[in-house]
Amino acid sequence: MTTKNILLCVTGSIAVYKAADLANRLVKEGYNVETIMSHSAREFVAPLTFQTLTGNKVHTQMFDLFDPDHQVEHISLARKADVCIVAPATANIIGKIAAGIADDMVSTVIMALDHAPVYICPAMNTKMYENPIVQRNIKSLWAMGYRFIEPKESRLACGDIGRGAMADVNVIVNAVITYLQSVDKNGK
Ligand SMILES: Cc1cc2nc3c(=O)[nH]c(=O)nc-3n(C[C@H](O)[C@H](O)[C@H](O)COP(=O)(O)O)c2cc1C
């Protein structure tokens, strides 16, 4: 069995620290994890954390001049992915995907994906999550086949209590592994 490639897209929420745990868990399960971090995500946690946990360079820049493999990085990342996880997913990235915006490495690679399903794990303040625009974007992405792992109710980092905390890492790991194992069973 060949090693499966997981593309982990990390965007700017306080829950970025949980994505480090997610990366760690997936690597320990035997998967190759490629991480892309948005500019905002890098305000919370340094790429070095993900680089160390995954053993891979963290992708951040669209216009990286030095590429030893001479590949168009966003396309090769998208082609190689067996599954993509957006965790944490901000209101902003959900809106950008829904609107077809590709203005940074995260949104461009998601746009360029071919066969890989995308698991979106929203994390945001309850009012943001309940905002009709965010809910409309979620519904429209859902209808297009994007998969959502719902946020849970919790005391949020801002002090509010309500829905918006990123789903537990266990829940995300189980969903993704179940998918990858089903692909293996079907011989793809
Ligand atoms: C302390 C702090 C916490 C934030 N947490 C969230 C969050 O949990 N969810 C969210 O959607 N935006 C959050 N934001 C706002 C995003 O970082 C902001 O919308 C940013 O433009 C998102 O960019 P990105 O989607 O490219 O990462 C937070 C901002 C700050 C300063």
**pLDDT by residue (tens digit) across 16-32?**
999 999 999 999 999 99
- Is-contact 34 58, C-beta < 8 A? no
Q: Burial, 162: exposed, middle or buried (Cβ in 10 Å; 0-12, 13-18, 19+)? A: middle
Query: 78 in ligand 1 pocket by Cβ < 6 Å?
Result: no
**The domain that contains 24 carries what CATH number?**
3.40.50.1950
> How many domains are there within the chain?
1
Question: Which atom of ligand 1 is the closest one to the Cα of 128?
Answer: 11
Query: 137 in ligand 1 pocket by Cβ < 6 Å?
Result: no
What is residue 175's predicted lDDT score, i.e. its pLDDT? 98
pLDDT higher than 70, residue 68: no
- What 8-state DSSP symbol labels residue 86? E
Residue ID of nearest Cα to ligand 1 atom 28? 13
| Residue range(s) defining the domain that contains residue 75 | 5-185
- Among this protein's residues, is 158 annotated catalytic? yes
Helix/strand/coil for 64: coil
pTM summary value: 0.95
Percent of the chain with pLDDT over 90: 79
